[in-house]
Chains A and B, each alone.
Chain A
Amino acid sequence: GESVGLHLPTLSVQEGDNSIINCAYSNSASDYFIWYKQESGKGPQFIIDIRSNMDKRQGQRVTVLLNKTVKHLSLQIAATQPGDSAVYFCLITGGGNKLTFGTGTQLKVEL
Chain B
Amino acid sequence: NAGVMQNPRHLVRRRGQEARLRCSPMKGHSHVYWYRQLPEEGLKFMVYLQKENIIDESGMPKERFSAEFPKEGPSILRIQQVVRGDSAAYFCASSPERSGKLFFGSGTQLSVL
Contacts and interface: CB of A to CB of B under 8 A. Distances in A.
Interface string B12-45: 0000000000000000000001010000011101
B113 interface: no
Interface of B: 4, 33, 35, 41-43, 45, 48, 55-56, 58-59, 91, 93, 98-107
Contacts of A34: 101-102
Interface residues of A, number: 21
A61 interface: no
Contact of B101 (A46, A89, A100, A102): A46
Contact of B59 (A91, A98, A104): A98
A29 B79 CA distance: 34
A101 interface: yes
Interface of A: 32, 34, 36, 42-46, 49, 89, 91, 93-94, 97-104
Given A43-B91, A46-B103, A98 B45 contact: yes
